[in-house]
A and B are shown apart, each in its own frame.
Chain A
Amino acid sequence: MKLKLKHLLSILLIALLTISCSTDDEDNMDTSSVSEVDGLTLIQELTNSTHRIELYNTTGEFKTGYNAVSLRVKDLATNTYVEDAELSWMPVMQMPTMQHACPMSSPTKVIDKNTVYTGYIIYQMTNLDGEGWSLTVDYTINGIDYTVSDTITVIQNHNQNVLSFLGADDVRYIVALIEPSTPKIAINTFKVGLFKMETMMSFPVVENFSLTLDPRMPGMGNHSSPNNTDLIYNPSDGMYYADLSLTMTGYWVLNLKLLNENSEVLKGEEVTEEHTQSSLYLELEF
């Protein structure tokens, strides 16, 4: 029985190897531009008279919370992808009486790719129908400035993976879940972005704060898990990191408490028998 299995496995392995080899060949033969967005799905194209901006991510749609976005610029005249553009973007939410932006990074060229630029946008909210947001991309090619703008659709995420709140210091903060994007029963790397709302249009990263972490399962007696660590600021990428233990699949509430550099609590409470959930929390489901 075991032997048979081994045989089967080796046949499978050989089959797999041959298949993967052949795809490699295809990749090499194709123009690099096609393969550079392999595995990504087109979200939307923004077009003006000279260029078309293609927006990609893994799911093909914008959702509230953290969105890693890849983009390419196609020159409509030559039908080629631009390799040396300088890009910036500005997502804007139109509210009845005012408008605001959201936390984001400027798109930068992906290191080992020629035509793909990447950055992130964290939509902290959306309208029920997904309307309200527009995206403007300003870019410079060979010293000439261009701009393109269009409305976009942002779908409300099922879970609370981003939260905008007012801290005890009267500053509005935004906290967003970045990792784990595919949680597993294990110690997961927990990565969170923390931003403050400086103005309606400016959301810089908050440095050197910390967040305590207490994951709970409300569906099962609100139990916790062992060996979690608190979120600590990592200056190399401006994000906060912790160990997150998930002992089973299901719905988890990640209770947080935000502390400033003097360890003063700005938001959130301890979870106790009576107080089963912090006012500052993120949700996770898998």
Chain B
Amino acid sequence: MIQKNSFLISLKNAGFFRSGRWLVRGVNLTVNSGEILTLIGPNGSGKSTTAKMAIGVSKPDEGTAKKRKGLKISYLPQRISIDWTLPIKVNRFMNLTGQVRRKEADEALSLTGAIHLAKSDVRTLSGGEFQRVLMARAIARKPELIVLDEPVQGVDFNGEIEIYELIRNIRDELKCGVLLISHDLHVVMAATDRVICLNGHVCCYGTPMTVANSKEYKALFGARAVSGLALYEHRHDHEHLPDGSIQSKDGTIDNDCSPDHGDQSQIYKYSFEYNRAENHDG
């Protein structure tokens, strides 16, 4: 059994440089076993890049990435396409990077609602079905760390909530760490321990639980939360200018993404206030 709260992966001041610009810079993060860390941020904010650096798929160009030795990772990338010339059935796909017992594979497929696809050819699956199969494969390996890059893309809305619930259950059962990438925080909220908001650097981070558990928040945790959180993303203490430089609240412009600015406590306050204001209006 994996020890709870033992160190799995970390990034220290990590940055990734490609084609003349820093895709992401100054990222610090740690994932311990038994916890769910969610990365959120707009398109092109470096979420996937950060996750890839953290698990060793890409090498950081500055800073360091650390990984516990022999760590068993399951990775669900954002985009994956199977070449049409590859004849591969779901059952075989479940064993892609290591033998998984048939019973465990079937259990995992049942959990993600894809058991009826077990004998299907992978290339005939729809986007949502394939996503469920990918998820099942990640679970069946019984990993110590599971990294999910937008695991619900293409999955219908009810399926989305089920999958997030499933992620939490898996964490409870396996005591594994979870690194989750998402842009729909309103659904992720309930199933995450800590959130890091990225936009080329760490804009803010914090624990959503205190907020998520409060009565008011739960009352507001409906459709309104979507717009509330969308607003929150533009209410940082700094602005990203078109040329990539960063203007702080006090007006100073900085070319670097210094990781220490950004106020973590604001992460829910803004959405909270915004929602309340909206409610009064209505």
Bound together: no
B residues within 8 Å of A by Cβ? none
